[in-house]
A and B are shown apart, each in its own frame.
Chain A
Amino acid sequence: MQDLTVDYEAEGGTGRAVSGVSFELGPGDSLGVLGESGCGKTTTALAILRILPKTARVIGTIRFLGRHLFQLRERDLQKVRGADISMIFQEPAMMLSPVKRAGDQVSEVIRAHTGESWRECRGEALARLSEVGFESASRIYASYPHQLSGGEQQRVVIAQALACRPALVVADEPTSSLDLGTQAEILDLLSDLKERLGIALLVISHDPGVLAKLATRIVVMRHGAIVEQGALGQVFQQPQSAYTQSLLVARATSPLAPRRLVPVLQSASEDAVKARTLPDVKADQMPAPQRAEPELSADKGSPRYQEPLVSVRGLSKRYQHRRGLKTFGIQALDNVDLDIAAGSTIALIGESGAGKSTLALCLARLEQPDAGEILLAGRNLLKVPRPELAPVRRKIQLIFQDSTQALSPRISAAEVVREPLDIGSLGISTERHGRALELMEQVGLSAAWARRSPLEFSGGQRQRLAIARALALQPSLLILDEALTGLDLPIQAEIIDLLVELQGVHRLTYLYISHDLSLVERVADEVVVMHQGRIVERAGTAELFRCPSHPHTQALLGARLALEAALPREA
């Protein structure tokens, strides 16, 4: 790739997404692209295959095996796509057609590029599925995507990508939407296949751990341009650019670190909010292991004994579904007992399917459990009569993972924040707008942005908006269901700082649901581990990470350590 420049034309003007990016990739090589969201890495990848939206204007040269890709006609390019260069996108569930069988989708790719009969293609597809580690390839072939787990779907996608034995595979955030254990599996699979098949790999990620496993060389991108490049070990251990350093630092973990993060990132956050970019981090402010003193009381380490805010007793929920004549049941929650003390920060971890989200939904009364009770300040939430439900409901609020879907794009930001007030008819109508602006300021969003649509905000800012909306009703308990997943690490750090601040000001209690253990380590007082609908372990954060007692917890932590070990660390 030489001097690639991509501009997007929009109504307001032209925005430059990528400027002057150049790199080389040899056969069998692997290159990682590290950067935050919005830095242009995905655009660069899409440009290779020329599948950018129509509003994109591309200049530059991309040569593949000596051919100029931009000079090819659409018909010839179609032959290259999928067969010589193939792509793996971020969310496997979205990459597969929901109404086609998984195996058929692999066969389709083979059929598109070879003249073989359907039966031959099917045979090849089955072989590919076995290759990616499916024991029962024919069962997977016949399944529909929604019947497969996230990890299985991603394997199918990988089978699709490798179906025609391409020379180059471009993987855009291949594991971001998967939980930790599955992430490790998929990364192992990818690195294994890379070795065996000798394919060149271009991996894009915001997570240095992922790149450490797959790439030998690294390119760091920011605002569409390359900031640094070099061999992986060198860039990670001796980053030349301060920006790279900041990316790597946000990832650093130390179990005993106080929860307020580095002052550099803190001052950066104010500017970032106004300018929507991360400003230059000065070299002399680079962090060392020292951290800022937390402003909150230090003895928040252990929750003081008091009447718990929320008590869950014997909660059970079973989901049934029918396939043909058989009925399958999944016990999502199995006699769960949980106490959450007021003012504490509890993290709920476990693999996907363990029941964490179901618990959150039951707490928020969005799902009806089959048995058990939920006591909020002594009152059983499940038995509250209809007319009295509204004020009780306000006490527990949810923040979801996908802020794009959680905020209505059709109303302005201020209206989003004021919606709960409108629904509950709280306060006088004229006051509500003012209150909405106040809340926006509290979460670090400028009131001048009140009229903008949520879509115009970045991911981190949308989550701030979601937080503002949740605060509108003055809740006691805030449940964050994977709310920080998918955000870039520096932004995560800012949001965590914000949440810690708000906790002090509003006396909130947090329940974090996450599969990201470094995040959990940073924020939680106590960790609760769930497995197959049951709580298997509960302990203070430091204790749990140091010596987990339950075998399942040990397995979870083990998976993370493997990933972290791949990252070269400072001595």
Chain B
Amino acid sequence: MRYVVTRLIHSAALLVGVSMLTFIFLRLAPGDFFTDLRLNPQVSAQTVADLRAQAGLDQPLPVTYVRWLKSVARGDLGLSLAYNARVAPLLWDRARNTLLLAGTAMLLAWLIAIVAGLSSAARPHGIADRLIGGGTSLLLGVPELVLALGLLALAARTGRFPTGGMVSLGFAKLNLTGKLKDVVLHAALPVAALVLGALPVLVRHVRASVLEVLQAPFIQAARAHGIPRRRVLFGYALPAAANPLASLFGLSVAALLSGSLLVEVVMGWPGMGPLLLEAILARDLYVVIGAVMFSAAFLVGGNLVADALLYTVDPRIRAR
């Protein structure tokens, strides 16, 4: 219990720290939302100053920060200058899509990694191991950008997959199965890009971890008791190998999140990526902060899950 509470406090402190840093960096960056407007000769300097004052951008840093905190408490996360709408609902829509993408990718990537890693470790230097090893080396060498573009090209050429967006035009008119199929089709390529990008590292770590565990005497003892090979792999080797993998889980959340940013922008998935990019270019302060905080929260959440996983899986951690 104490463990959980301590972790939660740490996470909260982390989020506060991230918000402060982001705020400082954004304000330190030259210009603001209205900088471009000033270049327009038809708009007077006074109007710009008024607009600035209205948006609260002329206040000192701590004041703006406190105002933002208040907006967090209120739940609307401030006002988007570009969209002239509250940030929270804007973000939430996009965040949901990102979560869908990243979450599916995580699940798939780990599932494939565990199976591939186990097969490689079960028979080192066997056929499966060589193929998987070669495949991951190849994937490791390809930058994610190229992967995403490559998949896009595939979509365009074959015409089987849509090349952007999350839903087709006639989405609302489809029945439930139709809607599901539609989303799946749209999500297939972005998820594939994310999974392929994350796989090499995960597979190799699973393989290394399981290989090490397979050397342990208790594995030989289990064999000596006549326990079937597959049960030894999944029931004995994998749980014992889970310790380092749980930590890797936390790291993979971070990697996948930053990867999803790129993939969304390139493949046109309406997630937080494109929104964030736009907002940064336009210097839409509150949207940027909101998006960054959301990512940070997702990361922290992922790490908490990893810690909880570790706690459940490894009894030795509990003993301390």
Contacts and interface: CB of A to CB of B under 8 A. Distances in A.
Interface in B294-320: 313-316, 318-320
Contacts of A80: 226
B319 A321 contact: yes
Interface stretch (B8-16, B79-87, B173-181, B233-241): B233-241
A94 B218 contact: yes
A95 interface: yes
Interface in B214-263: 216-218, 220-228, 231, 235-236, 239-240, 242
B223 A98 contact: no
B228 A78 contact: yes
Interface string A311-336: 00000000001110100000000000
Contacts of A51: 220, 223-224
B contacts with A: majority SS:
helix
| Interface SS of A by simple majority | mixed
B36 to A, nearest CB: 59
B223 to A, nearest CB: 6
Contacts of A82: 224-227
Nearest to A95: B221
A129 to B, nearest CB: 16
Given A82-B224, A89-B221, A160-B225, A99 B313 contact: yes
A291 interface: no
Contact of B217 (A83, A94, A108): A94
Nearest to B318: A323
A228 interface: no
Contact of B226 (A97, A109, A322, A323): A109
B225 A323 contact: no
A292 interface: no
Size range of the chain B interface in the assembly: 20 to 34
A34 interface: no
Interface string A86-128: 1101010011111110000000110011000000000000000
A113 B225 CA distance: 9
Contacts, number: 84
Contacts of A97: 218, 222, 236, 239-240
Nearest to A109: B225
A144 interface: yes
B39 interface: no
Given A89-B217, A108-B235, A98 B224 contact: no
B169 interface: no
Contacts of A144: 315-316, 319
Contacts of A87: 221, 224-225
B235 A96 contact: no
A139 interface: no
A87 B236 CA distance: 18
Interface residues of A, number: 32
B219 to A, nearest CB: 8
B1 interface: yes
A373 to B, nearest CB: 29
A542 B14 CA distance: 65
Interface string A141-157: 00010110000000000
A80 B223 CA distance: 11
B226 A146 contact: no
A97 B314 CA distance: 11
Interface string A64-87: 000000000000001111110011
Nearest to B237: A97
B225 A146 contact: no
Given A81-B223, A146-B316, A323-B319, A112 B217 contact: no
B223 A112 contact: no
A480 interface: no
Interface string B93-128: 000000000000000000000000000000000000
A100 B216 CA distance: 14
A500 interface: no
A94 B153 CA distance: 53
Nearest to A79: B226
A99 B319 CA distance: 12
A376 interface: no
A86 B218 contact: no
A95 B316 contact: no
25 contacts: A78-B226, A81-B223, A81-B226, A83-B226, A86-B224, A86-B225, A87-B225, A89-B221, A94-B216, A95-B218, A96-B218, A97-B218, A98-B240, A99-B313, A99-B316, A108-B225, A108-B231, A108-B235, A109-B225, A112-B228, A144-B316, A144-B319, A146-B315, A147-B319, A323-B318
Interface of A: 49, 51, 78-83, 86-87, 89, 91, 94-100, 108-109, 112-113, 144, 146-147, 160-161, 321-323, 325
Interface of B: 1, 216-218, 220-228, 231, 235-236, 239-240, 242, 313-316, 318-320
Given A51-B224, A78-B228, A89-B220, 7 more contacts: A82-B227, A86-B225, A100-B236, A100-B239, A108-B231, A108-B235, A109-B227
The 5 A-B pairs of least Cβ separation, nearest first, read: A82-B226, A81-B226, A82-B225, A94-B217, A95-B221
